[in-house]
């Protein structure tokens, strides 16, 4: 080893030690800050600083997501807008359901010839070039047609106001944003239903509040997929039973950017896990157990496959009992994710939810075999693609589906790709429900 290499290795080691120490220190100080904040707010049961606290303080500190918004008069000369409430415009907003909410709201704004106003309700995200993002999705809206505000800093004793026109069209997706708008002086608002959100919680206050938003007579439900619509209809939520709801199929096909890349003989195929340990409905532990079983039973081998996972930063690589390593590539930019997807022969994307989930449709749209899970009325996704394998929610069943996906040859997957019904154009996806909803409001269509 040269002296220069020794020096660089020493610097790297020192930096690594310092990084770990700082991370541990930050974790400790964060816990201390959170603990003392709860004590001062009177919401920590371990130390009672005050004998009594006001209702608003204990309620909205405990349920901060529903801290109220207050209506305000609009600025003189301003016009009605399409107003989207969204948790944040941070980086995660450009994936999945949050990205769909932005697309839906932009499509409404363009159809009605209105400004798109985006209200961040949980966290104030960094400034982003929304025009470029919308352009990447085929939506021609300019930055000067978009206004972004935030009410994320509101507290029980720090009021937040939102200017309102009588003819504003409000759109929400997260249950707490539906709760907030339901309390405002609006007659109707569009509720973009993309998941059964009460299931995100144990039996709790949040479960009750989330499900309560589906009972409101103010909502016009717009369900992301027919599966989601049918799930809500089965549960007899009033506005869906009254045939006051709509649905669309998402335009998430990646086929325009290329098909699954064929591996030459002797080159390992790739298995990808949509691995989010912090999102319970993704069944992370069931999925890695299923991979462990599939390898132990010889359904797949480390000689034939490489293994990757993505979706959450900070997770370590996982070495399964067979010695096979699942490499975590964390969160990727959209461009990197699209290119990476072309190399994946089998995608494992469990989702204990009524909807298909976007990675399932995205990977199936380019010819990858996909293993996902059944749930409630979601028993088959064959209407989208013959390359989707449906598993029960246990690890043994998932391992069996991994085996079947691995047995499907490249030529078979490409042949079945021709029968796919996964949309690629948001105009095809949203045109009809948007026109019908706008007419329901008696608003003008551009």
Same domain? 149 vs 244: yes
* Residue 442 pLDDT: 80
Same domain? 75 vs 141: yes
pLDDT digits (tens, 9 = 90+) for 53-95: 889 999 999 999 999 999 999 989 899 999 999 999 987 667 8
Please say whether the beta carbons of 344 and 260 come within 8 A: yes
Q: Taking the CA of residue 342 as centre, how many other CA atoms within 13 Å lie in the half-sphere pointing to its CB?
A: 13
269 pLDDT band (50/70/90 cuts)?
very high
Residue 45 has pLDDT above 60, yes or no: yes
271 pLDDT band (50/70/90 cuts)?
very high
Same domain? 44 vs 78: no
- Residue 422 belongs to some domain of the structure: no
Domain, as residue range, for 435: 66-251+428-440
Please say whether the beta carbons of 296 and 396 come within 8 A: no
Report the residue count for the chain.
Answer: 446
Q: In whole angstroms, what is the distance from residue 208 CA to residue 215 CA?
A: 11
Q: In whole angstroms, what is the distance from residue 295 CA to residue 269 CA?
A: 14
- Average the pLDDT over 16-30 and give the result: 65
* Residue 20 pLDDT: 65
Same domain? 362 vs 435: no
Same domain? 235 vs 309: no
Residue 129 has pLDDT above 90, yes or no: no
* Residue 333 pLDDT: 85
- Residue 272 belongs to some domain of the structure: yes
Q: In whole angstroms, what is the distance from residue 350 CA to residue 76 CA?
A: 50
> Looking at 55-69, 82-96, 323-337, 399-413, which range is the least confident one?
82-96
Q: What is the domain-level CATH number for residue 374? A: 3.40.50.2000
Same domain? 179 vs 316: no
* Residue 95 pLDDT: 81
Same domain? 267 vs 394: yes
Same domain? 231 vs 90: yes
3 pLDDT band (50/70/90 cuts)?
low
Same domain? 286 vs 385: yes
DSSP SS3 for 309: strand
Q: What total number of domains does the chain contain?
A: 3
> Looking at 26-30, 108-112, 268-272, 355-359, which range is the least confident one?
26-30
Same domain? 173 vs 188: yes
Q: What is the domain-level CATH number for residue 70? A: 3.40.50.11090
> Looking at 122-136, 250-264, 380-394, which range is the least confident one?
122-136
Same domain? 123 vs 261: no
- Residue 122 belongs to some domain of the structure: yes
- Residue 386 belongs to some domain of the structure: yes
- Residue 338 belongs to some domain of the structure: yes
């Amino acid at each position: 080893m040269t002296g220069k290499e020794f020096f660089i290795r020493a610097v790297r080691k020192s930096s690594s030690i310092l990084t770990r120490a700082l991370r541990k220190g930050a974790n400790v100080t964060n816990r201390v800050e959170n603990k003392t904040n709860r004590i001062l707010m009177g919401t920590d049961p371990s130390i009672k600083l005050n004998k009594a606290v006001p209702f608003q303080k204990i309620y909205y500190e405990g349920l901060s997501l529903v801290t109220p918004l207050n209506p305000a008069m609009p600025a003189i000369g301003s016009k009605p807008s399409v107003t989207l409430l969204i948790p944040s415009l941070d980086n995660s907003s450009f994936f999945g359901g949050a990205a769909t909410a932005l697309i839906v709201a932009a499509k409404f704004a363009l159809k009605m010839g209105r400004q798109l106003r985006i209200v961040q309700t949980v966290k104030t995200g960094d400034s982003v070039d929304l025009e470029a993002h919308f352009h990447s999705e085929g939506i021609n809206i300019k930055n000067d047609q978009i206004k972004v505000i935030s009410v994320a800093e509101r507290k029980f004793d720090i009021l937040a106001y939102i200017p309102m026109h009588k003819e504003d069209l409000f759109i929400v997706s997260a249950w707490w944003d539906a709760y907030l708008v339901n309390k405002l002086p609006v007659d109707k608002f569009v509720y973009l239903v993309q998941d059964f959100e009460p299931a995100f919680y144990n039996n709790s206050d949040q479960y009750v509040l989330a499900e309560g938003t589906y009972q409101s007579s103010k909502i016009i439900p717009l369900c992301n997929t027919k599966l989601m619509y049918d799930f809500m209809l089965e549960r007899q939520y009033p506005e869906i039973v009254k045939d006051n709801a709509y649905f669309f199929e998402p335009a998430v096909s990646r086929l325009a950017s290329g098909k699954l890349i064929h591996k030459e003989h002797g080159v390992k195929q790739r298995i990808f896990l949509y691995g989010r340990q912090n999102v319970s409905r993704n069944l992370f532990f069931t999925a890695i157990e299923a991979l462990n079983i599939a390898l132990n039973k010889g359904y797949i081998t480390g000689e034939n496959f490489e293994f990757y996972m993505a979706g959450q930063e900070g997770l370590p690589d996982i070495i399964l009992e067979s010695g096979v390593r699942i490499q975590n590539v964390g969160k990727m930019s959209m461009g990197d994710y699209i290119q990476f997807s072309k190399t994946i022969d089998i995608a494992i994307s469990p989702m204990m939810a009524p909807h298909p989930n976007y990675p399932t449709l995205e990977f199936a749209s380019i010819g990858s075999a996909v293993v996902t899970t059944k749930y409630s009325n979601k028993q088959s996704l064959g209407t989208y693609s013959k390359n989707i394998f449906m598993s029960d929610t246990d690890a043994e069943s998932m391992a069996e589906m991994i085996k079947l996906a691995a047995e499907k040859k490249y030529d078979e997957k490409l042949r079945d790709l021709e029968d796919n019904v996964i949309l690629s154009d948001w105009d095809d996806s949203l045109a009809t429900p948007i026109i019908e909803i706008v007419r329901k409001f008696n608003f003008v269509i551009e």
